[in-house]
Structure 1
Amino acid sequence: MKVRAAFLSAVRRFFKEESLCEVTPPCMVQTQVEGGSTLFKMDYYGEEAYLTQSSQLYLETCLPALGDVYCIQESFRAEKSHTRRHLSEYTHIESELAFITFEDLLDHLEKLITKTVQYVLEDPTAGPLVKQLNPGFVAPQMPFKRMEYIHALEWLNENGIPNEEGNPFKFGDDIAEAAERKMTDTIGVPILLTRFPVEIKSFYMKKCADDPRVTESVDVLMPTVGEITGGSMRIEDTEELLAGFKREGIDPKSYYWFIDQRVYGTCPHGGYGLGTERILAWMCNRFTVRDCSLYPRYTGRCKP
C-alpha cells in the first residue's frame, strides 16, 4: 500500500510536468465502452444504468476546453475471469491527449512508465520497499521494443506457441493471456505491441491509413505480468465512428453527446488506460493483482 501511494503520487507528478489537467468523471453511466458482456447493471431511478468500465468517453469531451486531461478513477468489469491479473473493481489511470500522432502516443507511454517508476524508486519510503519485495527489479529504459501484431503472430508460430484452439495463429486471432505472457517473458523486455486488427478492438479505435484492416492501437507488455496498458488513436470522423457502432451492434442513440463532438469539430487525439494494480504487481513481484488492492473485488468476493 505504501508503494501504491508513492506510485499514484508519481503519476500525478508526471502529468503535472506534462501539463495535463486532472478531471473526475462519473462512475454511474448509461453507455458501454468495452463491450456489453462486462457491465455491472443497476437501477438508476427507474432507468437502466451501469458502473463505468472506463472514463475514456468522458475524458474525450474535455479536450476542446481543457486540453490534455487525465483521471485516476475506479473502473468496473463484470467478467468472471479467475486470472492473476483481473479484478472486478480496479483503479484506472486514463488520459486523453489532443493534437497528437500515433508515434506521439507511443513516445508518451514510454515516458510515463519510465518516469513514474523512476520517481517511485527515488522515494525514500517506497524505493527500499520495492527493492525488498522485488530484489531483481530493473527499471525500464527507453526506447521500448516495438512489435506489430502481425510480427507477434509470426514469433508465436515460429516458437510453437498455439492459439486457444491449439492451432497456429492466423490474422484476426486474439492473443490470449497465456501466449502473450510466454512471448513477453521469453523476450524479457517491455514491448509496445501495435496495430491490432479492427475486429478484435473497440469501436472507437482509428484505422491505420496504410492498412485499414488494422488499428492505431497499442498494448504495453511487461515481463512477468503481461499487459499493463492499452491505448489507441481515436476515430475523429463521424461516419467512421457510426460504422464502428454498427459493427459492434451498439445503438448510437445514447452516445449522441459523443458523436456530436465529431459532428461539430474535433482534432486528432488518442489516449490510454493503465491498470494501477497490474503496474504494482510488476514492480513489487506479486503473483496476483489481488495483493495490490486494499480490499480486492473479484467473482464471489465483495466483503468486508
Structure 2
Amino acid sequence: MRLRLVKDDLNWDYFKRSRLWLGISAVMAVVALASFFVQGLNYGIDFRGGTTIRTETTTPVDVGEYRDALDQIGLADVVISEVFDPTFRDDQFVAMVRIGAQEGEEAVSTDVIDRAEAALAEVAPDIKFISVESVGPKVSGELIQTAALAVSLAIGAVLIYIWLRFEWQFALGAVLALVHDVALTIGIFSELQIKFDLAIIAALLTIVGYSLNDTVVVFDRVRENLVRFKSKDLKEILKMSINETMSRTIMTSLTTLIALIALFALGGDVIRGFVFAMIWGVVVGTYSSIFVASAVLLRLGVKRDWSKPTEGGAGTQFGDVDA
C-alpha cells in the first residue's frame, strides 16, 4: 500500500487570502530588515577577526573540559571542535580552537594565546599548539563583501535562468520569493543574535537552491497546464498546479526536515547554526514557493497568445524546452 500524505483530489484555494499572505510576508521582511539595520548581526570569527589554534595531545580530546578551561580565563567567542583523520596515530588527538577578537581589540593578542595555552595545559598537560593562524579585521571586512556578492550573484543568476526558462513574470515571482527567504533568514539571525559566520553564507546559498527547486517544480507544472487548459483563467491554473505538486512538495520538505532536525539535535555546537539556518530556510522556502512566488505571478499575469503555434508563440517560446 502506497503512503499518501496528500489525497489525489486535493483542491485547496491558495489565493483566497493571497493579499493576507503577501501582507504577512511583507511585514516579516520589513521587520527582518529593521532588525538587521538596528541591532545588526552577531558576526563570528570569520567576519570579526580572530585566531585559529590547532592543538595536539596524546590523550583524547574532551571538548567540554577545553571550553570550561577557556571560560575560566574570561575568553568570549570560543569555538572548539575535534579533528578526525584516518592518518592520525593511535595516540594522536587533534582539536581546533577558534578564539574571536575580544572586545576592545582588533585581533587576538599574544598574551591571550599564552593564557589559553596555560589554561588548556591544566586539562591536557602535554598539549601542543601545532599552528596558530590569525584573521585580521581587514580580511574579515573583505569576507563580508565577498559573501554578500556571492548571494547577490546567485539570485541574479536565478533571475536570468527563470527568465530564459519561462517568462519575465515567472522570473520576477521566483526572485522575489528568494529575496523573501534570504531576508527572513538574515532577520531571524539578527533577532536571535545567533552567530553568523561563513557556514551561514553556505546555508543561505543552499536555501536559494532549495527554494528555487521548489518554485521551478510548481512553475513547470503551471506552464504545462497553461498549454493543456487554454480556456481556464490563470488563477485556476495556478491553484491546480500547486495542488498537483503538493504531494511532492510536502514529501521533499518533510524528509529534508527530518534529517536536519536529527543533525540539529545530535550534531553538536559546531554545525548547529548552519543546521538551524537550513531548517528555517526549508520552512520559509516551501511557504514562499506556494504563497509568494505564485501570488506574485498571479498579479503580474502571463501573456497567453494562442493564435500562434506553441513553438515561438508569445509567452510560450520556451514551452518545449526539456530541462
TM-score, normalising length: structure 2: 0.22
Q: Provide TM-score, normalisation by structure 1.
A: 0.23
User: Counting strand residues as a fraction of each chain, which structure ranks higher?
Assistant: 1
Larger RCO of the pair (alpha carbons < 8 Å, separation 6+)? 2
